[in-house]
Amino acid sequence: MSSTPTTEQVNAALATVQDPEIHRPITDLDMVKSVEIADGGVVNVGIYLTVAGCPMKGRIESDVTNAVSKVAGVTGVNVELDVMSDEQRKALQTKLKGGQEDKEIPFAKPNSLTKVYAVASGKGGVGKSSVTVNLAAAMADLGHKVGVVDADIYGHSVPRMLGVSGHPTKVEDMIMPPTSHGIKVISVGMFTQGNQPVVWRGPMLHRALQQFLSDVFWGDLDILLMDLPPGTGDIAISVAQLLPSAEILVVTTPQQAAAEVAERAGAISGQTHQRVAGVIENMSYFVTPGTGERTHLFGEGGGQRVADGLTQSLGAQVPLLGQVPLDMRLRESSDEGQPLVLSEPSTDASQVLSGIAGDLVGKPRGLSGMQLGVTPIGGGR
């Protein structure tokens, strides 16, 4: 004869269920409304959704049912969904922001442990976005918590390249970003109808970027990648103002004309006082199938010229981080929403991109060198 499950056992099971968007246990988020255990081991669970029409309600209901069903003595699970009140949502927002009521950019705080990389290029068509998404996927695959801001306002393409199918969910004035391949993503394309162009001027662009950084609930990220528009326009200046500690990654091709323009994009850091983390040369060469022969379709040496030029003009060493070969599969995987570093990690392009990602993330975060704010009790000697 099986024993009757207890409320404590059911609550312990519910603590293993995470909200799909916030990625924290529903018990911590006060989403459990009620737990009732009826005769015969049937458990009735009431769950609060953050908003009406929550796109993840089916997932939450399924996860709750599966978790509670595993408790010994449970013979059936009924899940009743409700919606949080305005007061409950405000309380949730305050909890997620650590008690902070005012809007702030967490990555701009002096004690932030998140590495921020702004991926820039001098001109379009050099593969900046595909490099960004593959770096993000490789970093996430290494076990890091990664977010991507698609700040390429006019040419936003990151959601498609990462296969993002969901939409952001609004909780009060906080935005929950969709996740794909373990990467949190936000893009202006998620807030426009169809394939409509974004016709905004400087102040609106600045405000949009500010909202992406302050209103989106990113959680505890290790890495934030920002895919910037080509050139040195409003967005690049706004990034420098909002996130002065962000480091710049310059993407170019080997072509002389592209390299000259890319160098100008990196040189803006001399005025904004940002660090250039390095240069990535994309479409460096084409490897002929079968023979392994390399053909330099777009010339040679552009990436190194950019790195050398920036080193000289900025007075600080700017390395060439890697040379990514031209591979049709890189384009095809981006169109399919499956980053090449995940779908075909053994390709030369994947190997180079994964190597760059590993160099950029460095060692996992730790407490070494951090001030813990601990003071001795009793005065000491």
List, as residue ranges, the binding site for ATP. Answer: 122-129
Query: DSSP per residue over 5-37, as a string?
Result: PPHHHHHHHHTT-B-TTT-SBTTTTT-EEEEEE
98 Cβ contact partners less than 8 Å away, ≥ 6 residues apart: none
* Closest to 67 measured CA to CA, from 40, 95, 35: 35
Evaluate whether 150 touches 185 at the Cβ level (below 8 Å).
Answer: yes
133 Cβ contact partners less than 8 Å away, ≥ 6 residues apart: 148, 158, 161, 162, 334, 339
Question: What is the rounded distance in angstroms from the CA atom of residue 230 to the CA atom of residue 212?
Answer: 19
Query: DSSP per residue over 264-279, as a string?
Result: HHHHTHHHHT--EEEE
Question: What is the rounded distance in angstroms from the CA atom of residue 329 to the CA atom of residue 228?
Answer: 23
Evaluate whether 208 touches 151 at the Cβ level (below 8 Å).
Answer: no
Residues within the annotated binding site?
122-129
